[in-house]
């Protein structure tokens, strides 16, 4: 969780801000002029990731978001159950945001421009789609490895193509995520987190589990909010995650 947050707030979001692209907001520390929030329609009470939704909506209304050099801290879930429920809510909210913003794609493209629209879909849609597809890509490569056929030609061009796409996606996905994580860890001198980068494949599988749980909830209970318990540090030693420069 700490590695993921460092990569997001020290790497991805500052890059989006520098490029002037739409960015999903993080809920830990945001600052808005009230008039701007009202002009953009206010908070969506039915979206379970209302901060991310507002970030894209602000871009649609012509506003830009940036990051400031003040570090904040977030108390991270330190057990799997609370983490899974929190990540399920995030995934479900991102799915809601994508659906809402896709109702009028031409209007969205006119407001944000094709580059901004592509960035929004790549940032949020890419996370959701990759989480849903990751287990299948891993399963295809795993079967090929188990059968000793990873680099052997098959009898089907479609089979070769599918296996190649799965392998390239895994290598490129893991490589890009782990490289970004290492860079921000080195910049922060948080060297104790370096071994955790090797857990990326396992962590991604857990994210996939949350994504499928979110997809199930989206159909059955789209507005249900599984709240994350905070304040646990008052009762025991918490896992505190540096949330990066905002």
Query: What are the structure tokens assigned to 199, written together?
Result: 């857990």
pLDDT averaged over every residue in the chain: 84
Largest CA distance in the chain: 63
Query: What are the structure tokens assigned to 233, written together?
Result: 């540090």
Looking at the chain, the whole-number percentage of residues with pLDDT higher than 90 is 32
The angle at the Cα of 214, spanning 49 to 98, to the nearest 5 degrees, equals 50
- In angstroms, rounded to a whole number, what is the distance separating the alpha carbons of residues 100 and 187? 37
In angstroms, the Cα distances linking 15 to 76, 117, 130 are 24, 16, 21
- In angstroms, rounded to a whole number, what is the distance separating the alpha carbons of residues 99 and 122? 14
Question: How many CB atoms lie under 10 A from the CB of residue 141?
Answer: 17
Residue range 151-183, pLDDT digits in tens: 666 666 776 777 777 778 788 888 999 999 999
Residue range 133-148, pLDDT digits in tens: 989 888 877 887 787 7
- In angstroms, rounded to a whole number, what is the distance separating the alpha carbons of residues 126 and 30? 24
Which residues, at least 6 apart from 83, have a Cβ–Cβ distance to it below 8 Å? 1, 76, 77, 206
- In angstroms, rounded to a whole number, what is the distance separating the alpha carbons of residues 5 and 242? 7
C-alpha gyration radius of the chain: 19
């Amino acid at each position: 969780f700490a590695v993921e947050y460092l990569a997001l707030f020290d790497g991805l979001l500052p890059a989006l801000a520098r490029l002037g692209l739409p960015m999903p907001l993080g809920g830990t520390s945001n600052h808005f002029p009230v008039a701007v929030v009202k002009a953009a329609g206010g908070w969506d009470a039915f979206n379970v990731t209302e901060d991310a939704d507002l970030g894209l909506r602000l871009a649609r209304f012509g506003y830009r978001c940036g990051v400031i050099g003040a570090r904040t801290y977030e108390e991270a879930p330190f057990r799997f159950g609370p983490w899974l429920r929190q990540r399920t809510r995030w995934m479900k909210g991102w799915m809601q945001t994508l659906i809402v913003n896709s109702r009028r794609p031409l209007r969205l493209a006119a407001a944000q421009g094709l580059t901004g629209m592509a960035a929004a879909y790549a940032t949020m849609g890419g996370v959701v789609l990759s989480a849903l597809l990751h287990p299948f890509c891993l399963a295809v490569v795993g079967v090929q490895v188990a059968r000793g056929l990873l680099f052997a030609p098959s009898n089907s061009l479609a089979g070769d193509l599918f296996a190649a796409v799965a392998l390239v996606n895994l290598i490129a996905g893991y490589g890009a995520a782990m490289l970004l994580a290492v860079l921000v860890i080195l910049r922060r001198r948080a060297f104790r987190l370096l071994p955790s980068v090797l857990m990326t494949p396992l962590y991604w599988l857990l994210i996939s589990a949350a994504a499928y749980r979110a997809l199930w909830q989206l159909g059955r209970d789209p507005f249900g909010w599984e709240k994350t318990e905070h304040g646990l540090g008052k009762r025991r030693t918490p896992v505190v995650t540096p949330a990066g420069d905002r």
